[in-house]
Structure 1
């Protein structure tokens, strides 16, 4: 089966066959669907309507496997191997004991319409059970402890009253995550509380009581965290987050990155915990593991951000120049790395080759992207604009790793988009697999770039023609963006921001001096006192020279120093002294009006004679003294 694409709108569901044909299959019942979901293994598609949940299977999801009558299902979740489906219904007010979470077993020939397990979860966050990679363990938190049940056969039950193992940490935990390994371990996080530091620990699952710590790390400044395991399940990254930033530099609190790792099965060869050294202050925008599980990348710091790659010991492997990026995605084999700036950034995308010293092999622009994913084979990149993140320009684009745009599909309202992972050949005839078989374990290899001839779908030509007609274009060509500037500095001086142009500070006219080059006469606002003095000077000149209607231009030019493009030190000094003189005049008027002044303001008035002498020494003449 070729790679497929799944797209959902408010009126239909589309399934595309993938490169190069992109044939489309449309379903009609999408207008009543509230939730849609593809299983990680690619075998199932779950659709939830207002009164039922349906499971479809097959090459084109044409075979309905199961239909159960469930009302108001607003969330669903597949287990990693796709053997179980969890559904969350809206809690019923009429039934206080309503078990609104149900687990359905899909790994049988005819799945029963009765759930394997049901429990109550009133809150939609954190409601789902955690399953191991092969669906042979299920975890659920009960108060301060975590209970683990083992699912080793069709007759096994989710009996959390008699669990396979119990984990009771020393401090109450706020989050935990099971590793994606064949012999799974559990990472727990206990936040900082009552002067006690936060604790991050890795436990090995054991029958009876799980209390063996493989690795542990204690630290402060941690109210919550984000956990990410690598694919081998022998290392975990933790971003510790505080609710507030003590330095008042960020609205999003402080971020610190920690790395816990171990060697051998269940840490038989020892564990290690380190704080990842980040060389720049600021938030952590993204962090992700390489599929090889030997390296990870971090994007951090105030914009422009720093991009650094580390090894399993927390040592720096490679760093990229600072640039406005906030997204990092490794290809399925780990050879190519996508770095991009989405959200409030411009949407520029770069693809790096890990085997060629992180050199950039392609660039393209994908503005307003809300979804970005690699294809399961690592040859194509999906970028899409979806609603309700953005309600305009909804659509999807398929890019080749070389930067060529291969397929475009525009929508009035696109709600969801995803790749359908490749289904193994032995699953094409039947959806049932063994418990110890991983359906998503196909090894994909990224293409080697050389002389590539990529077939472009006709939709791209239509899209480019439409864009050119509207006066815009889209593609892999770079745009002259210039140096990065933060948003608050892009309209300095009241002028529109021009990429690559220097920002000029606003200019003002100083009374008593010639206007600076480029300044518009009359734009600078004069104070009331300066306007009054100007009026007095004009009336005095009329009395002394009744025959002259205007002052002599030559004499005025002699009394006023000209400001060249680069002002001399004497002219800069005169400007500074004139500014002090205007401030003293304003304080004298306040004192005459009966206002009370501070001691420093009174001392400033006493320096008027000194300022005037310095101005005379520099060649400036007071017009009022004439």
Structure 2
């Protein structure tokens, strides 16, 4: 089993030879093929390996013998069509006076390197073409509309069919029949809409779902193409209930079903992933410790994985193992579960993970720390599903690791692994490990060590980073109170945990006392009222939120491999200061 590594020293292809599957020493990990510096992108099909350098694109067979080259020097992404018939090369769009509409998306015949068709894709967010599993239909976004091409014998013929309107995003289904999922933005007061069509009948949708306007929409088809999930996100929650904005998840099926996926906890939706068997999906959601729930095709709950420190989910290729990860701003906890038996198989820790990918054999996975997401402690690790670390390689300082991927194999080449409780011998990581202390939510942490070690449950509203627990927005504070009106608030008794006694003083109108930002531990553990934000501070808060939104866009570009200039990098580095400033404004 092979995998490829792209770094600032070039391309390396590694092989894993398996002598004894029950020990790390029984596996041999070694590179056997190397190419020079300047690698920009790479990809596998089931019969070819290709990478782009600063001068050309090179295509090899799986014996790593050079087949041909293509004179493209700015390849940003390289991919193959579903059956490997077409090689697709995408470059960042560059407009010049001489060539204002120069093409930057190219389709080649994978076997010969012959150019077949090209497109000028000016928006990076819309460049990716969608090809049906049988490679008979191409769908692509051009000038705001979805256009279709019929493919036969290497010829692309433009279809008269297209989808127009305020198209926000779309996706073409895998599977035996071709379906198109489409997101239409709201216009003139009408709601936003997700629709599902069967190609080429694009006049009447077979399923649809309406919802409020979304800033971002992601579409996830299952492997069979008979169901898709629509995740909608708004950067700002207009109700003021959440610092993280507002999200929702909808389901559309080719049999006409449409549902909203019910989630039992408030908070952000971290990740969604279909089982490779196409009959179930998992959602990771809620404030940390986050929930993970398994749903069926009717959006009924099949199994609840409970709560844990997690924000990512990865299925192996067979759907019998699922991995939950805690990456990004979390420390790198990993849980692996046996989906059939509904039991956790292992737990481990892979700090600073920016990339994770299951091996095609289904029993191993790799984790890596890569540039540009993290520029220090770059390296990769190979793990067994039992939690055993089998191999580790760290890059020297000032050297950069960019990307890793496993070689692709024809379906059926690997057999589904049998999940065993038998211990596999591993190695000790050379990297320092994070603290293994139990996670304590911030709103419990502030109550002290005794509360942190108790079974106190956090309030249902999740904490806003940098703000006191139980913080309510200005909009929330306007909700009517259940307390009797025209009665003065009674002063709390210091140093007592029992309920307060009625005051013997005559009732009179009192000026409200300024409220503290600290949690007051009264007998019934109520949290005090929070301060309001004045008009000038609201303007500052709005400006900071806009800056944070811009930074989020820049970070997404970084994750896609785009290089940022000095000013953009400076903006990203200012995120922490902006969050602190936002917290200070809301506390003032």
One fold, TM greater than 0.5?
yes
Determine the structure 1 residue equivalent to 2:348.
Answer: 364
2:438 to 482, 485, 498: 482
Matched, 1:379 2:363: yes
TM-aligned CA deviation for residue 174 of structure 1: 1.3
Query: Residue 168 of structure 1 contacts residue 211 of structure 1 at CA under 8 Å; is this kept in 2?
Result: no
Report the secondary structure of 2:170's partner residue: strand
Closer/same/farther in 2, CA of residues 566 and 36 from structure 1, 3 Å limit: same
SS of structure 2 residue aligned to 1:188: strand
State the match for 1:147 in structure 2: 147
The 1-side partners of 2:67 and 2:219 are apart by: 35
**Could you tell me whether the CA contact under 8 Å between 1:5 and 1:17 is conserved in 2?**
yes
Residues 98 and 120, structure 1, Cα contact 8 Å, conserved in 2: yes
Q: 2:252 aligns with which of 260, 265, 270?
A: 260
Higher strand share: 2
User: Shift of the alpha carbon at 1:348?
Assistant: 1.2
Q: What secondary structure, in the 3-state scheme, does the structure 1 residue paired with 2:340 have?
A: helix
**Equivalences for 1:147-296 in 2 at 5 Å?**
147-154=147-154, 156=155, 158-160=156-158, 163=159, 165-168=160-163, 171-206=165-200, 210-262=202-254, 270-296=255-281
CA separation of 1:384/1:499 partners in 2, compared to 1, >3 Å: closer, same or farther?
farther
Using the alignment, how far apart are the partners of 1:91 and 1:241 within structure 2? Answer: 30
Match of 1:32 among 29, 34, 38: 38
Measured after TM superposition, the shift of residue 447 of structure 1 is: 2.6
2:95 touches 2:102 (CA, 8 Å); kept in 1?
A: no
Alpha-carbon distance between aligned partners in 1 of 2:286 and 2:498, rounded to the nearest angstrom: 40
Are the equivalent residues in 2 in contact too, given 1:380–1:399 (CA < 8 A)? yes
Alignment correspondent of 1:403: 387
- Do structure 1's residue 53 and structure 2's residue 48 form an aligned pair? no
Match of 2:305 among 292, 301, 320: 320
Aligned to 1:103: 106
Q: C-alpha displacement at 1:233, in angstroms?
A: 0.5
RMSD: 3.2
Between 48-57 and 193-202, the greater mean CA deviation after superposition = 48-57
Unaligned 5+ runs, structure 2: 18-26, 456-493, 514-588
Give distance in 2, aligned partners of 1:137 and 1:203. Answer: 14
Counterpart contact for 1:15–1:26, Cα < 8 Å = yes
2:418 match = 447
Give the whole-Å Cα distance in 2 for the aligned partners of 1:253 and 1:359.
Answer: 33
Distance 2:76 2:209 in 1: 37
C-alpha distance in structure 2 between counterparts of 1:290 and 1:38, whole Å:
23
Distance (Å, rounded) in 1 between the aligned partners of 2:138 and 2:8 = 35
1:267 aligned residue: none
Structure 2 Cα separation of the partners of residues 347 and 568 of structure 1:
39
CA 1:51–1:98: 2 relative to 1, 3 Å = farther
1:215, distance to aligned residue in structure 2 (A): 1.2
- In the alignment, the residues of structure 2 paired with residue 285 and residue 128 of structure 1 have an alpha-carbon distance, to the nearest angstrom, of 23
Specify the alignment match of 2:335 in structure 1: 350
TM-score normalised by L of structure 2: 0.71
Describe the superposition over 1:440-487 as per-residue Cα deviations: whole angstroms up to 9, x where unpaired: 464640233143555x5xxx4xx64x55xxxx569xxxx74224223x
Corresponding residue for residue 340 of structure 1: 325
Deviation at 1:152, TM superposition (A): 2.4
Distance in 1 between residues matched to 2:238 and 2:145, nearest whole Å: 33
**Considering only CA atoms, is the larger Rg found in Structure 1 or Structure 2?**
1
Partner Cα separation in structure 1 for residue 31 and residue 386 of structure 2: 25
Q: Deviations over 1:563-588 (max 9, x none)?
A: xx976979x99xx99xxxxxxxxxxx
Q: Distance in 1 between matches of 2:78 and 2:98?
A: 21
**How far apart are 1:67 and its partner, in Å?**
1.3
Summarize the alignment of residues 530-569 of structure 1 with structure 2, pairs less than 5 Å apart: none
Q: 2:233 touches 2:246 (CA, 8 Å); kept in 1?
A: yes
- After superposition, residues 502-581 of structure 1 pair within 5 angstroms as none
Shift of 1:316: 0.9
Report the equivalent of 1:123. Answer: 123
**In structure 2, what is the Cα distance between the partners aligned to 1:10 and 1:499?**
49
Check whether the contact 2:172–2:181 (CA below 8 A) recurs between aligned residues.
yes
The 3-state SS of whatever aligns with 1:332 is coil
- The alignment of Structure 1 onto Structure 2 pairs a total of residues equal to 460
Residues of 1 paired with 2:391 and 2:405: CA distance?
15
Q: Are 1:136 and 2:139 counterparts?
A: no
How big is each residue's C-alpha offset from its partner over 1:104-161, in whole Å with a ceiling of 9 and x where there is no partner? 33343x333xx2112212232211321112322111234464322221213x2x232x
The structure-2 alpha-carbon separation of the partners of 1:95 and 1:45, relative to structure 1 and needing over 3 Å to count, comes to farther
Deviation at 1:498, TM superposition (A): 11
Going from structure 1 to structure 2, the CA distance change for 1:502 and 1:390 (only over 3 Å counts) comes to farther
Q: Map 1:462-477; keep pairs closer than 5 Å.
A: 464=429, 466=430, 472=432
Q: Pick the structure with more helix per residue.
A: 1
Taking the aligned partners of 1:126 and 1:76, their CA distance within structure 2 comes to 15
Contact 2:445 2:452 in 1 (8 A): no
Q: Is the 8 A contact 2:318 2:362 kept in 1?
A: yes
Give 1:11's aligned residue.
Answer: 9
When normalised by structure 1's length, the TM-score is 0.67
- Work out whether residues 192 and 223 of structure 1, in 8 Å CA contact, stay in contact via their aligned partners in 2: no
State the partner residue of 2:89: 87
Greater mean deviation of Cα atoms: 120-129 or 140-149: 140-149
